[in-house]
Amino acid sequence: MPARVPRRPMEDIDPFANAIAPPENESLQERELRLQKERAARQISEAIDAELSREQAFEKKRPKPVKILLLGQSESGKSTTLKNFQLMYEPKAFKAERASWRAIIQLNIVRSVRIILDAISRAQNIGGRPASARSSVSSQDSAFPRVDSELVALKMRLSSLLEVEQQLMKRLSVPGEVEPTERPLASSSRRHQPRELAVNSTVVWQGVFRRTGDGNGRESLDSDHLVDWDDPEDPGVKLHACRDDLKRLWEHPTVQAILEKQSIRLQESAGFFLDSIDAVTSLRYIPTDDHILRARLKTLGVSEHRMRLSDPTGGMSRDFRIFDVGGTRSLRAAWVSYFDDMDAIIFLAPISAFDQVLTEDPTVNRLADSYKLWTTINSNKLLQKTNLILFLNKIDIMQAKLAAGIRLSDFVDSYGRRPNDFDSASKYLKKQFQAILKQNSPTPRIFYCHLTNVIDTKSTRYVLAGIKDMLMRANLQESHLIL
């Protein structure tokens, strides 16, 4: 009869010891077998531990990823700059997102239509009042453009497009991902701004329109296969049916007069596609790179994008992490938690906004807000060693505004009697931002500044490649890989 191994008394009181204790009445032979198995398991576990320590040591030796944070007020062009990075360094992923951007562009177009229809309604209200009542509202109302029956009929027909807006908003607004509350449109500047779609993370909303797989277990990258053309809820069909009315509305002289009278400059606003109605409303429309860069989708949270970029000689490559944040005032508190570990901040100041106010606070001029934000970033101690790169952005709109006679000195007193041309204005603004850096930086630092139009891929490509090379070189030096 095989000998029995006695149990230790601890096992009766400690549940864990109990669970791993040898079976009761274990024979010597069974015991030997169990110990052999335990030795083998221990060897495997030790091998795993050794592999983990080797990997950790390797990770420590590897250069740290290069981290870039995009900052600036809402609509300054942060997400558009990120799109340029993606277009340059992750073209395949960028292409795969076309179906999702198609829906955003459709939404952008319908939003512009809504702004026009609202403006016509206001014109109708004023026009419908007796002359005496009108003069009490504004002395200029007598010259208010008259809305004729053709325009009324056009407005009626296009009102049906607002359903498309609802439908798209509902579909793209993933629960928990959208702005929680819609504030009342109290101020005059918000009066012309219907609710904007905003998202927290790019991953979720893009999934809504992505058509996955081609039956072979991989995603097709052929643009035409990215969209589900048989989707009964696809707004493309309705937009296509309305294309002539859309064109008539946008080209209508009375509409142009109404917009001018109400100081609504749609061409300069985010997500403007009314000059591309034929393309956007065509059946089987797939957005071009240019359209994707012009599409407007407000960012709510912070999103991190990883990409691997190679150095100019093609030899080395580095991991890059780019962080895109929401720029609306209420979202800025979240920025600071990303400050301690950044290699560079690209700060975007949309200089064309010198005659505009913040959507979230119409008492604040947008240029003044950019100055203030830039001052805060410059003086922050956590960012002492971070490269600060300034983009004086939206120069295309700035050029158009100055050429149209909008005077910088009417909004920036200190500009005085300087010429109202782009060259003088941009040089002046650049100096202002440089002076802020000099006055507020805790330690002297280089002033990196670019005049940008980030919806122009060609010029932006050049600027971003320069930034990438500079940061990569700094990263290599820090890692002692070059001297």
Ligand X SMILES: Nc1nc2c(ncn2[C@@H]2O[C@H](COP(=O)(O)OP(=O)(O)OP(=O)(O)O)[C@@H](O)[C@H]2O)c(=O)[nH]1
Q: Is 303 in the site for Mg ion (CB under 5 A)?
A: no
Name residues contacting ligand X, limited to 406-465 (CB under 6 A).
Answer: 453-455
299 appears as a binding residue in the annotation = yes
Q: Which stretch in 181-189, 210-218, 333-341, 389-397 sits in contact with ligand X by CB under 6 A?
A: 389-397
396 appears as a binding residue in the annotation = yes
295 appears as a binding residue in the annotation = yes
Rounded to whole angstroms, the Cα distance separating 180 from 422 reads 40
335 vs 415, beta carbon nearer ligand X: 335
For ligand X (CB under 6 A), the number of binding residues is 25
Q: What share of the chain is helix, strand, coil (3-state, %, to 5)?
A: 55, 10, 35
Q: Is 79 in the site for Mg ion (CB under 5 A)?
A: yes
Q: Which of 67, 294, 318, 450 binds ligand X (CB under 6 A)?
A: 294
DSSP conformational letter for 351: G
153 vs 336, beta carbon nearer ligand X: 336
Place of tokens 């700060």: 347
Which helix or strand (DSSP H or E) is residue 209 part of?
helix 202-209
Q: Is 305 in the site for ligand X (CB under 6 A)?
A: no
Residue 311 contacts residue 318 (beta carbons within 8 Å): yes
Q: Quote the tokens at residue 339.
A: 């400050």
Q: Is 298 in the site for ligand X (CB under 6 A)?
A: yes
Q: Which of 393, 402, 408, 471 binds ligand X (CB under 6 A)?
A: 393
E strand spans, 219-328 = 298-299, 302-310, 317-325
Rounded to whole angstroms, the Cα distance separating 379 from 382 reads 9
Residue 386 C-beta-side C-alpha neighbours within 13 Å: 26
Give least dist CB 388 to Mg ion, A.
19
Distances (CA, A) of 418 to 244, 349, 412, 434: 45, 21, 11, 19
**Length of the chain measured in residues:** 483
200 appears as a binding residue in the annotation = no
Residue 333 contacts residue 55 (beta carbons within 8 Å): no
131 appears as a binding residue in the annotation = no
Rg from Cα positions in the chain: 30
Give least dist CB 148 to ligand X, A.
33
Residue 392 contacts residue 354 (beta carbons within 8 Å): no
Q: Which stretch in 8-16, 158-166, 293-301, 337-345 sits in contact with Mg ion by CB under 5 A?
A: 293-301
Q: Which stretch in 10-18, 34-42, 295-303, 434-442 sits in contact with ligand X by CB under 6 A?
A: 295-303
Q: Which of 72, 145, 235, 287 binds ligand X (CB under 6 A)?
A: 72
Q: Is 299 in the site for Mg ion (CB under 5 A)?
A: yes
Q: Is 252 in the site for ligand X (CB under 6 A)?
A: no
DSSP conformational letter for 104: H
Interface with ligand X by CB under 6 A: which residues?
Answer: 72, 74-80, 270-271, 293-294, 296, 298-299, 326-328, 393-394, 396-397, 453-455
- Positions at the binding site: 293-299, 393-396
Query: Annotated binding site for GTP, which residues?
Result: 293-299, 393-396
Q: Output the known binding site for Mg(2+).
A: 299
